A = this chain, B = another copy of it.
């Protein structure tokens, strides 16, 4: 599927107003290359990088996705390579003046009859896996919990064949932190809500040290915006309790509590449920210039299909939405939801400002190598994941939704932080698009990884689950890839297929967002 040097030269122009396009061919295109439209390249342009479709004067608008992604640092001739150094970063959209809920898209026709095989829980939620999750109140206990997890895997799990696995919900929070700082609500809520992920079937247990700041009671109570988790004392193991006469005593106690939960989890069976029970997170990482024209639009199309099924879809990553937020504010269902969106953007502006940095800290070197000049271009490609549905709710980091449909869940853009936060917000499956490639995976939920380019899909044949590069070469349409992704989501959610990261068993650690100081 890779284009060879002899393939015809190809570029992608996204919008009719664009004065730039990106080069599709795998090895880039050399100076002198002529396109059917008459455009001749004045210099070599790497794959994914931008070519000027017309002369652009110094200071002139550089337009992609029909939006200004920057200003020309000097005169740029038609056919030249617009590398990142030629693009002056525009100001971010001013939050005060944005139109709110001016154009919420009407509901698309419902999609009926799509189902998956899920685990229905007592609270009405539906999981895609059947896991024992061991919540920890503080990192101090991580070594002990890891030790116990190995014993559970070796000795207990074989006796409970309906249980898919056991996950230590280890994190670096819980003590040595400013637990009463205003921003501490984020990590506390996150750890609280992670325990409620539908894949754990409501079988919550906590391993605590005893002296930590995040006492189990506080973890269970969470923050003012969440519902307290009721948990009997028999499900909380405190290592410092006087009854524990040493390490082996602790281990045995945790094993006993774990086994009680395994017995109940083993009763869980997959059953056919409507696709509306899915909660899917959309994320991108290691993005390139193709992300916004292949994988992310296909994800957006699949997102719309899910929303039409009545399912819940979340997109996130504040710094990769901030510069395109003016395209989102008209799409929210109400002024209130719009205000919430602005609040989340403003919170992050302030957070970056306090750290004496700003949104230009994004994109990464690899993003740039992949053709993304700046965070504006990255954001315009990133929000394509949200499709065309109305945005019905906005969540702060780690909050759980109260509505179905398309939701903006504010999180950092960091892959593993976003993944952790979306899991706290309740996703039971994640779709992750990448142009540069990442082996990213999560232990709690399946992650479907989608390549933006054929070359990556080919090279990483045993890591990428689905390829959207065919959109760039014209082999498939956005709609076709979107439908393929939608079907794959149902297959993976049902356990009929397995993602590559799950087949290899490679998973990233939890990375709970803690914007407050450590002490």
Is A459 an interface residue when CB atoms closer than 8 A count as contact?
Answer: yes
Q: How large is the interface on A (under 10, 10 to 19, 20 to 34, 35 or more residues)?
A: 35 or more
Among B142, B247, B513, contact of A518 (Cβ-Cβ < 8 Å): B513
Tell me the minimal C-beta distance from A500 to chain B in angstroms. Answer: 7
Q: Does A220 contact B (CB under 8 A)?
A: no
Sample (20) of A-B pairs whose CB atoms are under 8 Å apart: A139-B511, A140-B438, A143-B507, A209-B286, A209-B366, A210-B366, A211-B437, A240-B437, A245-B459, A246-B462, A247-B500, A247-B504, A250-B439, A351-B517, A357-B519, A359-B519, A362-B519, A412-B518, A513-B518, A515-B517
A contact set with B: CB distance below 8 Å? 139-144, 146-147, 170, 172, 175-183, 209-213, 215, 239-240, 242, 244-248, 250, 285-286, 319, 351-352, 354-357, 359, 361-362, 364-367, 369-370, 412-418, 436-441, 459-463, 500-501, 504-509, 511, 513, 515-519
Chain B residues with CB below 8 A from A416, complex form: 139-140, 172, 176
Q: Which residues of B contact A140 (CB under 8 A)?
A: 285-286, 415-416, 438-440, 508
**A240 & B366 in contact (Cβ 8 Å cutoff):** yes
Find A511's partner among B172, B319, B501, B516 (CB 8 Å cutoff): B172
CA distance A175 to B519 in the complex (A): 23
**Residue in B176, B182, B246, B319 whose beta carbon sits within 8 Å of that of A356 in the complex:** B182
For the complex, give the distance between the alpha carbons of A370 and B212 in Å: 12
Contacts of A438 in B (CB 8 A): 140, 209, 211
User: In the bound complex, what is the Cα–Cα distance between A352 and B516 (angstroms)?
Assistant: 9
Give A460 to B441 CA distance when docked, in angstroms: 37
* Complexed CA–CA distance, A342 and B2 (Å): 60
Q: Determine the residue in chain B with the shortest Cβ distance to A367.
A: B211
For the complex, give the distance between the alpha carbons of A407 and B57 in Å. Answer: 59
- CB–CB A459/B244 < 8 A: yes
Closest to A209 in B: B438
Q: Can you name 12 extra interface pairs (CB under 8 A) apart from A183-B356, A250-B439?
A: A139-B416, A172-B509, A182-B356, A209-B366, A211-B286, A246-B459, A246-B463, A319-B519, A351-B517, A352-B519, A357-B517, A417-B518
Determine if A516 and B178 form an interchain contact, defined as CB atoms under 8 angstroms apart. no
Which residue on B lies nearest to A368, using beta carbons?
B211
Q: Across the interface, which residues of B come within 8 angstroms of A180, CB to CB? A: 357, 361
* List of B residues within 8 angstroms of A141 by Cβ: 439
Inside 8 A of A142's CB, which chain B residues have their CB? 508-509
Cross-chain contact A460 with B143 (CB below 8 angstroms) = no
Candidates B146, B239, B285; contact of A437 at CB < 8 Å: B239
Grouping DSSP codes into helix (H, G, I), strand (E, B) and loop, the A interface class, with mixed when no group exceeds half, is loop
Closest Cβ of chain B to A470, distance in Å, is: 19
- Nearest 6 A-B pairs (CB), nearest first? A211-B366, A176-B414, A143-B506, A178-B357, A355-B517, A181-B357
A364 contacts which of B143, B175, B511 (Cβ < 8 Å)?
A: B175
Give every chain B residue within 8 A of A351 (Cβ-Cβ).
Answer: 517
Q: Which residues of B contact A413 (CB under 8 A)?
A: 176, 519
Say how far A349's CB is from chain B's closest CB, in angstroms: 11
Chain B residue at minimum C-beta to C-beta distance from A500: B247
Known contacts A139-B511, A412-B176, A355 near B462 by CB under 8 Å: no
- Chain B residues in 8 Å Cβ range of A361: 177-181, 517, 519
Q: Name the residue on B nearest A375 (C-beta).
A: B519
A183 vs B361: C-alpha distance in the bound complex, in angstroms? Answer: 13
In the bound complex, what is the Cα–Cα distance between A513 and B176 (angstroms)?
12
Q: Are A246 and B461 in contact (CB under 8 A)?
A: yes
Give bound CA distance, A500 to B394, whole Å. 48
Cα-based distance from A247 to B500 in the complex (angstroms)? 10
- Docked CA distance A417–B506 (Å): 25
Partner of A516, one of B248, B357, B500: B357
Q: How far is the CA of A362 from the CA of B175 in the complex (A)?
A: 9
